[in-house]
């Protein structure tokens, strides 16, 4: 298996000047209701509003200058694209972001706000990623995968490095699970520190692609439905390195409904006075679902982002 523990430590040195060391906050509300000690790692306060800059900077800073200079291409449904646009601009580089047709307009605007050259292609993330890779190859440019890259994964793992410096003891970490880049990095580092830390992969019931793939023993094309957790929605590349990492490092999987995700967004706003996106509500509500099993335990929840469209937020609040 890849030594993610060492790669994360190397990535941390590279990205430190470019990303925020985000706060950890103990949740008295969840702690009292569950009989546990519950800690939020607040990546919703990260630059660009999500954890994604960690992986992008890790990848870009692992490349030599000549490689970066030929031009960079990526694909994204939103948060990765915004992080890519920010990082490329910060480092004085040029980059293009392909997004699927029908992507959340607010997240497309976020990419553009950070200077991204946005182009539309495909009906979903997998189609956009495939085309972006082909486009980069045809133009002699470099393609940056949102998740299927060990340098990107190692960058995301710096969340766990910080978390385990900020909290003395942890029994479990709840992490949103889409294509697996975030949870692979976190699990790879956390298990390197303490193999007994339980890693819980949390997905929307409307799009549990990685979970179903691991159950099948191979990457499968799972029919999905629209979800508030658009940051974890979509398929997985056939050769995704994250499949094996999730299979080997994630201890258990849980899904939550759209109603639970909406309740998580509302409750976090009401109790913690912070805005989060649907993907961030998924691990919160996954813990709520399983909280009786974690009584007297020390649990961390990765609050992965805050980029929710105004109209989506309005609907969620009004339905509450």
Q: Which of 118, 144, 170 is the last residue of a domain?
A: 144
Q: Which of 97, 115, 144 is the last residue of a domain?
A: 144
Torsion of CA 279, 34, 169, 2, to 10 degrees: -40
Distance CA 310, CA 290 (A): 30
User: Per-residue pLDDT for 123 more than 90?
Assistant: no
User: Per-residue pLDDT for 299 more than 90?
Assistant: yes
Least confident range of 74-88, 139-153, 225-239: 225-239
Q: Judge if 283 and 171 occupy the same domain.
A: yes
24: β partners: 41
Give the model's pLDDT for residue 212: 97
Give the model's pLDDT for residue 210: 97
Do 60 and 27 contact (CB within 8 A), yes or no?
Answer: no
> pTM of the full predicted structure?
0.96
Distance CA 161, CA 191 (A): 11
Do 96 and 117 contact (CB within 8 A), yes or no?
Answer: yes
Q: Judge if 288 and 217 occupy the same domain.
A: yes
Model confidence over 83-118: pLDDT tens digits?
999 999 999 999 999 999 888 888 899 999 999 899
CA atoms within 13 A on the CB side of 138: 6
How far from chain centre, in Å, is Cα 290? 21
Rounded to the nearest integer, the mean pLDDT of the chain is: 95
CB neighbourhood size of 90 (10 A): 16
In which band, very low, low, confident or very high, does the pLDDT at 255 lie, cut at 50, 70 and 90? very high
DSSP conformational letter for 265: H
Q: Judge if 245 and 196 occupy the same domain.
A: yes
User: Per-residue pLDDT for 131 more than 80?
Assistant: yes
H-helix segments, the chain:
4-15, 28-34, 53-60, 65-69, 79-90, 105-113, 125-139, 150-166, 181-193, 209-216, 241-249, 258-272, 278-290, 310-319
174: β partners: 200, 301
Distance CA 269, CA 276 (A): 8
Q: Judge if 132 and 159 occupy the same domain.
A: no
- What is the 3-state secondary structure of 100-111? CCCCCHHHHHHH
Domain coverage including residue 130: 53-144
Q: Judge if 225 and 305 occupy the same domain.
A: yes
Q: Judge if 111 and 168 occupy the same domain.
A: no
Q: Judge if 35 and 171 occupy the same domain.
A: yes
List the strands of the sheet with 142-144, edge to edge. 117-120, 95-99, 72-75, 142-144
Do 188 and 241 contact (CB within 8 A), yes or no?
Answer: no
Q: What is the largest CA-CA distance in the chain?
A: 56
Q: Judge if 232 and 121 occupy the same domain.
A: no
Contacts of 96 (CB under 8 A, 6+ apart): 71, 72, 73, 74, 116, 117, 119, 132, 135, 141
- The percentage of the chain sitting over the pLDDT mark of 90, rounded to a whole number, equals 84
Q: Judge if 182 and 286 occupy the same domain.
A: yes
Q: Domain containing 194 — which CATH number?
A: 3.40.50.1100
Q: How far is CA 11 from CA 67, 132, 161, 163, 164, in A?
A: 18, 25, 10, 15, 16
In which band, very low, low, confident or very high, does the pLDDT at 1 lie, cut at 50, 70 and 90? low
Number of domains observed in the structure of the chain: 2
Q: Judge if 76 and 194 occupy the same domain.
A: no
Closest C-alpha among 127, 187, 129 to residue 153: 187
Regarding beta strands 37-42 and 298-303, do their DSSP bridges make them parallel or antiparallel, or are they unpaired? parallel
Q: Judge if 156 and 287 occupy the same domain.
A: yes
Q: Which of 94, 123, 144 is the last residue of a domain?
A: 144
Closest C-alpha among 51, 42, 58, 61 to residue 82: 51
Q: Judge if 105 and 175 occupy the same domain.
A: no
């Amino acid at each position: 298996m890849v030594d993610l523990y060492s790669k994360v430590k190397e990535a941390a040195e590279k990205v430190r000047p470019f990303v925020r060391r985000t706060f950890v906050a103990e949740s008295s509300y969840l702690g009292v209701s569950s009989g546990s000690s519950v800690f939020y790692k607040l990546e919703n306060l990260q630059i660009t509003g999500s954890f994604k800059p960690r992986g992008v900077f890790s990848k870009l800073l692992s490349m030599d200058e000549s490689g970066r200079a030929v031009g960079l291409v990526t694909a994204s449904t939103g948060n990765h694209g915004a992080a890519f646009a920010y990082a490329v601009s910060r480092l004085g580089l040029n980059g293009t972001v392909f997004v699927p047709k029908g992507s959340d307009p607010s997240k497309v605007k976020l990419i553009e706000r950070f200077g991204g050259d946005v182009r539309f292609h495909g009906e979903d993330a997998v189609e956009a990623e495939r085309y972006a890779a082909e486009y980069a190859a045809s133009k002699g440019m470099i393609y940056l995968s949102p998740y299927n890259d060990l340098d990107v994964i190692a960058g995301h793992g710096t969340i766990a490095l910080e978390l385990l410096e900020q909290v003395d003891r942890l029994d479990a970490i709840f992490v949103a699970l889409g294509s697996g880049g975030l949870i692979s990095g976190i699990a790879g580092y956390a298990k390197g520190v303490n193999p007994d830390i339980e890693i819980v992969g949390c997905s929307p019931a409307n799009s549990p692609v990685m979970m179903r793939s691991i159950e099948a023993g191979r990457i499968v094309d799972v029919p999905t439905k629209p979800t508030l957790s658009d940051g974890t929605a979509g398929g997985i590349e056939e050769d995704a390195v994250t499949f094996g990492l999730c299979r080997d490092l994630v201890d258990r999987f849980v899904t939550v409904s759209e109603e639970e995700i909406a309740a998580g967004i509302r409750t976090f706003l009401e109790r913690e006075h912070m805005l989060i996106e649907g993907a961030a509500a998924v691990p919160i509500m996954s813990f709520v679902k399983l909280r009786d099993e974690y009584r007297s335990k020390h649990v961390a929840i990765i609050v992965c982002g805050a980029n929710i469209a105004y109209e989506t937020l309005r609907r969620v609040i009004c339905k509450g």
